[in-house]
Amino acid sequence: MISWNDIEEKWRAKWASQKEFEIEPDNREKKFITVAYPYPNSPQHIGHGRTYTLADVHARFLRMQGYNTLFPMGFHYTGTPILGMAKRVQEGDKELIENFEKLYHVPPNTIKEFVEPVKIADYFHQEIKQGMMEMGYSIDWRREFTTIDPVYKKFIEWQFRKMKSLNYVVQGSHPVGWCPKDQNPVSQHDTLGDVEPDFTEYILVKFHLDDMIIPTATLRPETIFGVTNLWINPQIKYRKVKVNDETWLVSPECARKLEFLNKTITPIAEIDGSEFVGKTVSILDKKIPIFPASFVESQTGTGIVMSVPAHAPFDYQALVDYQKKNPSIKVEPISIIKTEEFGEIPAKEIVEKLGIKDQDDPKLDEATNQVYAKEFYSGVLKQNTGKFAGLKVSEAKDTIKAWLAESKNSDILLELNDGPIRCRCGAECVVKLLNNQWFLNYLDQSWKEKTNQCFEKMSVLPNEIRTEFNYVVGWLRQRACARQHGLGTNLPWDQGWIVESLSDSVIYMAYYILAKYANSKELIADGLTDEFFEFVFFGNGDSKQVAAKCNISEEILKKIRDDFAYFYPVDARHSGRDLVPNHLTFFVLNHVAIFPEKLWPKQIVVNGSVLMDGKKMSKSMGNIIPLRKAIKDYGADPIRLAIIISAELLQDADFNLESVSTIKSKLEGIYEDCARYRPGMPQKLESEDNWIFGRLDHLITQTTGAIEKMRLREALHHILFSFESDIQWYLKRAEAKNRSDISGILHKILSVRVAMLSPFAPHIAEEMWERLGNSGFVSRSAWPKISEMVDQKSIQSEELLQSTLEDIKNVLKVTKINPQKIILYTADPWKIKAYRKIAQSVVSGQTNIGSIIKDLIADPQTEQIKKDPDFVKKSVNSILAEPTEMRKLRAELEPINEVQILSSELSALVKKEFSVDLEVFEESDSTKFDPKNKARMARPFKPALYIE
């Protein structure tokens, strides 16, 4: 039984004493691996462990490949969530305090100190750091920092002055996600559930009822010409409000949203929706009736909907349903868009085609998507749209939007997507138009173009996520980069603002080079100016003058500059998929804005999240396991492997304790094996020895290739499980021959497997390495390389033996015979020649049976194929069923002596397994025993079989 915690503590102490992960520039090629730094408002749970474990495996693998690999870590204090938590502690929030006590086991006296936001951050900073150390992450802790450290703040001030000088930071009035309680813009890190508050702009089309405006929200202003009626919910109490100098009728929720859009809202009265049923509104000289509809939602848009039944499947079905109940209502859809795919009334066509029966049919969403997509990209406006007739829908949208605005027939409503979204303080967020706010102008087209260039040249793993980045870059607009509350760095030219958390965390990877010197006090904030950063990052300026001005020694200044020039750019950036729409894209945008192309990031690695027994982790479900508790209960290495082996990169990993138990058992088995074998090779290698070394080369190639693509589940499966069947076959072969000289071979194989296991399970791999009698750290050993001395004939020989033994077993299983005699018949020489030619044809791409037969008949050595044309089809199929490497061997190598191999190597296995002697004959042997005429069925690598 392994004491996981003891072993892990032992090796962490050894690594620390040897300063194993403190990385300095040297003459080797470098690799700089970074991962999104944590926000310390709670301890990390198993889900957090995935991203950091993947990054650590990557860093450890690269070190073993000979790269000088730096893997640092910082802590992100910036933002408002910690402020919100401190307020809740101050207010005595029972739920939060209970979480601290029962879930996170924070001492009561410490919780009392949490009224100070920095105390919360400092406590969980240390908790997270300890968990990372216990997980065995190979981090250079000398480079640790927080985003409120004085030198870091100087770094952010320089970054923002630089961005402003390049016109990437602008001031203006723009919409942002907003917390009405905190009076602050909100981003992903500020919301419950880490939801990025994106929003949609709706056009409010103004319909008139006497002196009142009834606005309706739409994404398709061009459909105004096809409106037949409005829908209103009789059950809703609407608000009659003064909006600036106009009187509007809207839902209560809409009235509140409008308050944040630079409009003055004055309540007048509450009116039941039922009072408006049957009334008539007007727009563009058209009279339009109002019909009742229970499907209209108060919280969506204005709570009143304009109906375009010719082009909106929902509206069409609602009108059909309404007219069934009210036959006297005679309203016909008005078709305004022509497409080749549809006839006069597209919505009617698609509803009938999909068999939609009522408004609750889920197929209405599909119908809507089909109509909208085809009309947007290929639709043209008809003559009844007046001066817009002939315009493509894709072009008409913005034109008609502008026309409606100019004629004062429209306004704008901004709504959060996927609402309601709540701030961490608990308040429901809204969209607010901020005046005189500072923004990063991500709308700048030249900036987007440079970013796209970077993505084109960059490695993105897995590659299928690349399109998501392209999409994000495309839709990004101005983004608020400052707020008036929270922890962080003041905007250098406007001290009333604080740089927000997704804007001060985009180029901090460069700061890791400086952090070591800040921590050692060789670099202090006092006196640091922009000239310092310009010199370190770009080599601009005179070192003597910069050092004098910035109160730093010239020697240290040059050393920092040299360190940066050595380690930058970032070679791989690891993060979760949830950061693709924000941090990871901003990381690239800001790098291309500030740094020259040679310093742009080289790679982004994106992973999915972690589920617990198939369910999302949440406090409400009680399935969150704090990472340090899991380490204490199960060991760090089993947790690392259970996280990795449950899914490939972009898939959601499903963590469960059963897989932890399986992995522990597997590792314990390998650990026990490490005590059994000692170095020392046999004087002469047997066929099975050559074969197992060939399989070991194959294992190295497969595992290396998988890790390079960050297919870590596949790599780990190769190391722990796939190779096991090869080992079992090798042991069976050796045991059948009563060999006692294989300890050294198994020692060599185990050493290779343990070395490849090391990046994944670093603690137990070190213990195994030591147990094998190997010197030094396995983490410092070279990544295994293939020998390139494999005896290819041995590979074919062993494949023959394995497949033949399997055939014998299968026949015995089916026939249930108790064998008295087993006889094999190997193929005639002409079949061997024919088989090789067939293999050569298949490898060259020729699989046409007729063509292959024709070629074989033309050759005197294989013309006998005429007697057995079915031989070609069977051979082609069997060759195609094999791996590409084996096909090449079949085509390239001289045939092996199957009689000799089966007689000398398989006989012992057959005797041991079935307690009978094995006889082997050639198909053409006139003296063979063949009572059932089986020999004629023999094919190369597929001997015919007779059992009695």
- What are the pLDDT digits (tens) for 547-579? 999 989 999 999 999 999 999 999 999 999 989
Instruction: Give the domain ranges of the chain.
Output: 147-168+482-565, 203-407, 655-780, 794-947
State pTM to two decimals.
Answer: 0.82
CA 369/CA 313 separation, integer angstroms: 9
At 504 the three-state DSSP class reads coil
Q: Residue 864: its pLDDT value, please?
A: 83
Q: How confident is the model at residue 129 (pLDDT cuts 50, 70, 90)?
A: very high
Query: Would the pLDDT of 691 be above 80?
Result: yes
Q: What one-letter code names the amino acid at 525?
A: A
How buried is 639 (Cβ within 10 angstroms: 0-12 exposed, 13-18 middle, 19+ buried)?
buried
Please name the helix (run of DSSP H) or strand (run of DSSP E) that holds residue 131, with its range, or none.
Answer: helix 117-134
Q: Residue 380: its pLDDT value, please?
A: 93
Query: Would the pLDDT of 619 be above 70?
Result: no
Query: Would the pLDDT of 56 be above 60?
Result: yes
Whether CATH 1.50.10.10 fits 655-780: no
CA 348/CA 446 separation, integer angstroms: 44
**Which residue is associated with the tokens 């848009």?**
301
Mean pLDDT, range 669-689, rounded to an integer: 92
In the chain, the percentage of residues whose pLDDT exceeds 70 is 99
Q: What is the 3-state secondary structure (H, E, C) of 40-97?
A: CCCCCEHHHHHHHHHHHHHHHHHHHCCCEEECCCCECCCECHHHHHHHHHHCCCHHHH
Write the CB contacts of 477 (distance below 8 Å, at least 6 apart in sequence): 174, 442, 443
Query: Would the pLDDT of 276 be above 80?
Result: yes
| Conformation bin of residue 19: beta by default, left when phi > 0, alpha when psi is -120 to 50 | left
Please name the helix (run of DSSP H) or strand (run of DSSP E) that holds residue 6, with its range, or none.
Answer: helix 4-17
Query: Would the pLDDT of 626 be above 70?
Result: yes
In the chain, the percentage of residues whose pLDDT exceeds 90 is 68
For the record, the structure tokens of 940 come out as: 């190369």
Annotation: CATH topology of 203-407: Isoleucyl-tRNA Synthetase; domain 2 (3.90.740)
Write the CB contacts of 619 (distance below 8 Å, at least 6 apart in sequence): 99, 103
For the record, the structure tokens of 396 come out as: 């008409």
Residues 387-399 have pLDDT tens digits of 999 999 888 888 9
Query: Would the pLDDT of 63 be above 90?
Result: yes
Q: Residue 866: its pLDDT value, please?
A: 80
* Average confidence score pLDDT of the chain: 92
Query: Would the pLDDT of 41 be above 70?
Result: yes
- Phi first, then psi, for residue 71 (nearest 5°) are -135, 95
Q: Residue 486: its pLDDT value, please?
A: 85
Q: Residue 548: its pLDDT value, please?
A: 94
DSSP string covering 768-828, please? Answer: HHHHTT--S-GGGSPPP---S---HHHHHHHHHHHHHHHHHHHHHHHH----S-EEEEEPP
Query: Would the pLDDT of 507 be above 90?
Result: yes
Mean pLDDT, range 399-414, rounded to an integer: 93
What dihedral angle (degrees, nearest 10) is formed by the CA atoms of 158, 162, 164, 169? -80
Annotation: CATH topology of 794-947: hypothetical protein PF0899 fold (3.30.2320)
Q: How confident is the model at residue 215 (pLDDT cuts 50, 70, 90)?
A: very high
Q: Residue 418: its pLDDT value, please?
A: 82
Query: Would the pLDDT of 839 be above 90?
Result: no
Q: Residue 832: its pLDDT value, please?
A: 83
Mean pLDDT, range 628-634, rounded to an integer: 93
Q: How confident is the model at residue 755 (pLDDT cuts 50, 70, 90)?
A: very high
DSSP string covering 250-272, please? Answer: E-HHHHHHHHTTT--EEEEEEEE
Q: How confident is the model at residue 232 (pLDDT cuts 50, 70, 90)?
A: very high
Q: Residue 136: its pLDDT value, please?
A: 97
Residues 424-476 have pLDDT tens digits of 778 899 999 888 889 999 999 999 999 999 999 999 999 999 999 999 999 89
| 408 assigned to a ligand binding site | no
| Local structure of residue 829 (DSSP, 8 states) | H
For the record, the structure tokens of 186 come out as: 């909100």
Mean pLDDT, range 527-537, rounded to an integer: 97
Residues paired with residue 179 on neighbouring β-strands, in sequence order: 184
Nearest to 518, CA basis, from 569, 482, 563, 548: 563
How buried is 87 (Cβ within 10 angstroms: 0-12 exposed, 13-18 middle, 19+ buried)?
middle
- In sign, the C-alpha dihedral spanning 456, 459, 460, 463 is positive
Residues 893-918 have pLDDT tens digits of 788 898 899 998 898 899 988 999 99
Own/partner contacts of 890-894, CB < 8 Å, gap of 24 or more, are 890/796, 890/835, 890/836, 890/839, 890/941, 891/836, 891/839, 891/840, 891/842, 891/843, 893/792, 893/793, 893/796
Mean pLDDT, range 22-28, rounded to an integer: 97
- Phi first, then psi, for residue 564 (nearest 5°) are -65, -45
Residues 319-373 have pLDDT tens digits of 999 999 998 888 999 999 999 889 899 999 999 999 998 888 889 989 999 999 8
Query: Would the pLDDT of 622 be above 70?
Result: no
H helix intervals, 868-939: 870-880, 884-892, 898-901, 907-914
Query: Would the pLDDT of 620 be above 60?
Result: no
Mean pLDDT, range 648-662, rounded to an integer: 88
Mean pLDDT, range 722-748, rounded to an integer: 93
CA 623/CA 616 separation, integer angstroms: 8
Nearest to 120, CA basis, from 152, 156, 75, 151: 75
Mean pLDDT, range 159-178, rounded to an integer: 92
Residues 70-117 have pLDDT tens digits of 999 999 999 878 888 898 899 999 989 998 998 889 999 999 999 999
Mean pLDDT, range 719-723, rounded to an integer: 94
**Which residue is associated with the tokens 């005197």?**
860
Q: How confident is the model at residue 186 (pLDDT cuts 50, 70, 90)?
A: confident
Answer whether 252's CB lies under 8 Å from 170's CB. Answer: no
| Conformation bin of residue 809: beta by default, left when phi > 0, alpha when psi is -120 to 50 | alpha
Q: Residue 842: its pLDDT value, please?
A: 85
- DSSP-derived pairing of the beta strands 286-292 and 229-232: parallel
For the record, the structure tokens of 518 come out as: 């800040």
Mean pLDDT, range 286-297, rounded to an integer: 91
Q: How confident is the model at residue 15 (pLDDT cuts 50, 70, 90)?
A: very high
